[in-house]
Structure 1
């Protein structure tokens, strides 16, 4: 079986563990340099993060695990800025973390490391921003219907 993702040129891998208030970010460049930091879910930190991404060697491949609706603002900003953004399954992340660390112990830096490994292996899904793709209304209607049926 051919490994299509790893044959694709990249400058940096970026894994983001999304949370309500702060996101854990782990980046790795082609040279192997890793950088780990926390980023608030705010417009100012999103601006600083996009500036950081533009300073990395292109292309940057960004992956995150969807958490509620907290990923939507950052995902929109990244897609609008022209970055390649991918979803990473929370089930795949949990299974890989269990195998990698032999425990269910969960913390943000460890989750970001797990997401980075899954991103590098190509265990991802394509991220489509509903607002940019033009089906935001359908998604909101679906979420409203879900809340009404509860």
Structure 2
């Protein structure tokens, strides 16, 4: 990414913005911990100021993924995982990587995970989300 992170208007739903802020805060606080910044769907939902079912959060995570994609960044939402599998849900792969059908999901996810950790300016992305005026 060059320049500033810009959240496109269509991805600025209030819920998506708060989820992005909580996810980015979690990652920045935990990226060097044993779990390397991973968080389960359920634990992310518990951090929110509103009630969100872990089974329905993926639409909002999709907004975050596509905002990252439009800024040429790996999707930070890949850090949100199913508590049983330790991987993002099938919807993540279907929506964000439809061309990877039939490819090993773990390989795809590990590649994204490495790119997330290689990117050093997630704090600027967090700052961009915090600046969004949600009414």
Under a length normalisation based on structure 1, what TM-score does the superposition of the two structures give? 0.30
Under a length normalisation based on structure 2, what TM-score does the superposition of the two structures give? 0.32
Q: Which has the higher strand share?
A: 1
